[in-house]
């Protein structure tokens, strides 16, 4: 079987969306990565590209891309070539055994609890337009990001029917099409109830939970996308007087870290976050340990002296 790059990319796109159930963001990134490889190989076909072609491409990108980006590109190539082997286009995967570049380990940077409280205060949305409806919406989405630890992609995919205010829970479709039910704190429940009271149309539940306030005449309200949410959250943080950068995933980090600080079980946090592996969740234990050391160093009168002495020894 012979496929051109155009045919291979079209089939790969369908595979990612229909079979792998990757998030739209990841699917676009993988498809873009393979398209970059195709553009760099000239007349080489999907069936004849070999390991040296992949290594050469990654080496050329090394100067421009961070290790994490290179690692994602290699993951995209592995997925692509394995798909071609399965489809009978190739006999072997040229990326087999190819090591991924090591990315520096970065600990999550959660917000302080006090900063989260300020950000969640209804007054943080003062000055919004549309008779306060925008403030209600932005307050609700901020409470949901922090109160349920959602990914921004999960948040914008929610429909009205996914929220059960009576049971105080939200049904979330996570990575890989895995569904989970996350409990809602009282503050998030109240904020969502206030928003839904203003924007819900009677009898319509199969509609986006968070929508733009303006739409063309005769058209349904547009679902907010991830960029909208980031922009609204950043604006809310500025209005609340927070100098530190605030974005949706940082609220997710804050959710997990604050739960751990309050004694929540790591396995339970894994389920709440929708992590496939416990090792992904364990990074929050390092964050909490680091925070404890910082508190100790600030609070104990002999802590810094003792720490300097240990280092000098």
All residues at 6 or more sequence positions from 292 whose CB lies less than 8 Å from its CB, including other chains: none
| Tens digits of residue pLDDT in 90-130 | 999 999 989 877 766 777 888 999 999 999 987 765 544 44
Classify 275 as helix, strand or coil.
Answer: coil
Task: Report the alpha-carbon distance of residue 105 to residue 159 in Å, rounded.
Answer: 35
| Tens digits of residue pLDDT in 283-292 | 888 888 777 7
All residues at 6 or more sequence positions from 303 whose CB lies less than 8 Å from its CB, including other chains: 296, 297
**Ramachandran angles phi, psi of 163, nearest 5°:** -105, 125
Indicate the angle between helix axes 67-86 and 24-41, nearest 10 degrees. Answer: 80
The pLDDT, as a whole number, for residue 29 is 93
Q: What is the mean pLDDT of residues 47-74?
A: 89
The pair of three-digit structure tokens given for residue 226, joined into one six-digit string: 């991830």
The pLDDT, as a whole number, for residue 125 is 57
**Rounded to a whole number, what is the distance in angstroms from the first to the last CA of the chain?**
67
Query: Which of 76-80, 128-132, 137-141 bottoms out in mean pLDDT, i.e. has the lowest?
Result: 128-132
The catalytic residues are 151, 175, 249, 252, 275, 284
Q: Radius of gyration of the chain from Cα atoms? A: 23
The Cα diameter of the chain in Å comes to 74
The pLDDT, as a whole number, for residue 127 is 46
Q: What is the mean pLDDT of residues 235-260?
A: 91
Domains of the chain: 5-86 (1.10.150.130), 113-278 (1.10.443.10)
The pLDDT, as a whole number, for residue 205 is 61
The pLDDT, as a whole number, for residue 276 is 85
Query: Which of 74-78, 268-272, 307-311 bottoms out in mean pLDDT, i.e. has the lowest?
Result: 307-311
DSSP 80-148: HHHHHHHTTS-SS-TTTTPPPPPPPP----PPPHHHHHHHHSGGGGTT-SGGGHHHHHHHHHHHHHHHH
The pLDDT, as a whole number, for residue 69 is 87
The pLDDT, as a whole number, for residue 81 is 96
Within a 10 A sphere around the Cβ of 181, how many other Cβ atoms? 13
Q: Is the pTM of this model over 0.85?
A: no
């Amino acid at each position: 079987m012979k496929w051109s790059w155009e045919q291979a990319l079209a089939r790969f796109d369908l595979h990612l969306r229909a079979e792998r159930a990757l998030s739209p963001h990841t699917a676009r990134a993988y498809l873009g990565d393979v398209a970059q490889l195709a553009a760099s190989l000239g007349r080489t076909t999907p069936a004849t590209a070999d390991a040296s072609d992949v290594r050469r491409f990654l080496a050329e990108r090394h100067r421009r891309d961070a290790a994490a980006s290179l690692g994602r590109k290699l993951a995209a190539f592995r997925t692509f070539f394995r798909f071609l082997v399965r489809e009978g286009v190739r006999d072997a995967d040229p990326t087999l055994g190819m090591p991924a570049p090591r990315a520096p380990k970065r600990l999550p940077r959660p917000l302080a609890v006090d900063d989260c409280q300020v950000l969640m205060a209804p007054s943080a949305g003062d000055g919004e337009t549309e008779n306060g409806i925008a403030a209600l919406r932005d307050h609700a989405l901020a409470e949901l990001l922090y109160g349920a630890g959602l990914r921004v992609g999960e948040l914008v995919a929610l429909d009205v029917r996914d929220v059960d205010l009576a049971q105080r829970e939200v049904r979330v479709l996570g990575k890989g099409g895995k569904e989970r039910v996350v409990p809602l704190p009282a503050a998030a429940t109240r904020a969502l109830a206030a928003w839904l009271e203003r924007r819900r149309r009677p009898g319509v539940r199969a509609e986006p939970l968070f929508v733009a306030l303006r739409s063309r005449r005769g058209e349904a309200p547009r679902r907010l996308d991830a960029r909208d949410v980031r922009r609204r959250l950043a604006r809310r943080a500025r209005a609340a007087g927070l100098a530190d950068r605030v974005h949706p995933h940082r609220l997710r980090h804050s959710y997990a870290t604050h739960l751990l600080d309050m004694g929540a079980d790591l396995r339970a946090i894994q389920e709440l976050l929708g992590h496939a592996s416990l090792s992904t969740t364990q990074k929050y234990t390092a964050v909490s340990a680091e925070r404890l050391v910082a508190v100790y160093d600030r609070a104990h009168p002999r802590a810094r002296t003792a720490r300097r002495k240990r280092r000098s020894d």
